[in-house]
Amino acid sequence: MKNLQALKQRYGVIGRSESLDRALETALRVAPTELTVLIQGESGVGKEVISKVIHEYSHRKHNNFIAINTGAIPEGTINSELFGHEKGAFTGATSERKGYFESVNKGTIFLDEIGEMPLDTQAYLLRVLESGEYIKVGSSKVLKTDVRVVAATNVDLMRKIKQGKFREDLYYRLNTVPIRLPALHERREDIHLLFRKFANDFSDKYRTDAVTLDEQARALIENYRWPGNIRELRNLVEQLSVLSQDHLVTAEDLLKLAPQIGKRNLPAQVTAEDNDFAEREILYKFLFDMKGDLNDLKKMFYELVQRNNLEMPSKGPNVNRDLSQLHRMIDEHSDYKAEPDFYPEDNPSRPVIIDDNHNGYSPAEEVEESLSLDEKTKELITKALKKHKGKRKNAAEELGISERTLYRKIKEYGIPI
């Protein structure tokens, strides 16, 4: 614990959540070894800090360390950047060039966004990890290197493997020791601590009073999801430090500068890609619409019972319970506001049921409804497009998703416009 506190002070790590401490402890334990490490976490959670901890607490600490964003290097030049090239290997190669694996020999290479690495480069990297051998672009000579690789990703590599975009053997070679860094919304107890730290930093930088938050503003930042994580929080504090007229920031001041802070988010884990989030929004909208339909049906049945002087048999004791569970799930996990449930005034807890054995009525045939998410998503999109006469922008707003996501879904399901 003492070592952990010293580590936090040395690298400026702010936080006391168990998940963050667990990640730092794992980094400290694996640092003296030669094991390959895969750091997983959303963009902006501080993966590069963990890679520096691993390097500087290892026996390689006196040698070079380099951080490379593999997703930012063009596919046509990444092999040359990593492994070097010979003179004349390609157009523009006017001289021989050393790659990172040669120049950082005996040191550590941090490969960020490893999931964006091209497949052919993945094969070369796998060979380096297994034997330390590589070949420069345009050469046939096998070279050796002694480099420790620490990789990081903000995407689901197993999904990439299923899509054929990432090598399974490379994944297991990189994932010798996995370290997962929690997103900021997973350690809400640290959000205000980070806010105060950044506020003091910018107070010194701009020579102003450090901004503080009132109770309502603090509640807003602690309940916001922070998709940009620490980087997004830091940017917001800097804006407040520069633009706020008063050092005490109220909820109103905060929402004027950053209105997205006030948006309520679904309490579900969100991946780096926003497609799953959009599909959940569609599903919750479907559940909400279904809840409204059920209330309408209950109201219609009750009116029929009253109009025809029918009796109310005590059948189906679980109907109301199931409906209540559906209502509660939607209310807890959605922004949509439902109309009050309709129950008979004389007995609000009693389900409304028509006796299908009553004289003059034919037995109703129960048809099992499809529960396929794809079918329901397609149905909702079709209804929205029909309602707005094919205008995708209006339909997307109605569904609560982006126009780009809607266009992708239209193509995926083959929905005619």
Query: In the listed set 116, 151, 182, which residue is the last one of a domain according to the structure?
Result: 182
Residue-wise pLDDT tens digits, 218-240? 999 999 999 999 999 999 999 99
* Nearest residue to 290 (alpha-carbon basis) of 330, 320, 317: 330
Boundary of a domain, candidates 219, 236, 262: 262
Question: Would you say residue 160 has pLDDT above 70?
Answer: yes
Evaluate whether residue 270 is within a structural domain: no
Residue 107 lies in a domain: yes
Whether residue 267 lies inside any domain: the answer is no
Q: pLDDT at residue 360 above 90? A: no
Are residues 26 and 153 located together in one domain of the fold?
yes
pTM above 0.75, yes or no: no
End-to-end alpha carbon distance in the chain: 61
Mean pLDDT of all residues in 96-110: 95
Instruction: Give the pLDDT mean for 62-79.
Output: 94
The Cα–Cα gap between 181 and 49 comes to: 11
* Domain that includes residue 96, residue range: 2-182
Same domain, 158 and 191: no
391 within domain boundaries? yes
Categorize the per-residue pLDDT at 398 as very low, low, confident or very high, splitting at 50, 70 and 90.
Answer: confident
- The answer to whether residues 96 and 221 belong to one domain is no
Q: Are residues 77 and 140 in the same domain?
A: yes
pLDDT score of 356: 44
Average pLDDT over residues 108-136: 96
Report yes or no on 268 lying in a domain: no
362 and 304 in a single domain? The answer is: yes
From 126, 161, 182, the end of a domain falls on 182
Asked whether the beta carbons of 202 and 236 are under 8 A apart, the reply is no
* CA separation for the pair 374, 282 (Å, rounded): 10
Mean pLDDT of 85-94: 87
| Burial category of 301 from C-beta neighbours within 10 Å (exposed 0-12, middle 13-18, buried 19 and up) | middle
**pLDDT confidence tier of residue 401, bands split at 50, 70 and 90:** confident
The H or E element that residue 148 is part of is strand 148-153
State what percent of residues in the chain have pLDDT above 70.
75
* Confidence at residue 402, expressed as pLDDT on a 0 to 100 scale: 80
Q: What is the pLDDT of residues 289-337, one digit of tens each?
A: 676 677 777 777 667 767 666 665 554 545 555 555 555 655 555 444 4
Q: Is residue 381 scored above 60 in pLDDT?
A: yes
Residue 276 has a pLDDT of 56
Segment among 34-38, 50-54, 282-286, 394-398 with least mean pLDDT: 282-286
pLDDT digits (tens, 9 = 90+) for 20-64: 999 999 999 999 999 999 999 999 999 999 999 999 999 999 999
For 165-223, the pLDDT digits (tens) are: 999 999 999 999 999 999 999 999 999 999 999 999 999 999 999 999 999 999 999 99
Is 378 a residue whose pLDDT tops 70? yes
Percentage with pLDDT > 90 across the chain:
56
Question: Is 329 among the domain residues?
Answer: yes
Q: How many domains, the chain?
A: 3
Measured CA to CA, the distance from residue 412 to residue 417 in angstroms comes to: 13
Q: How many CA atoms lie within 13 A of 138 on its CB side?
A: 18
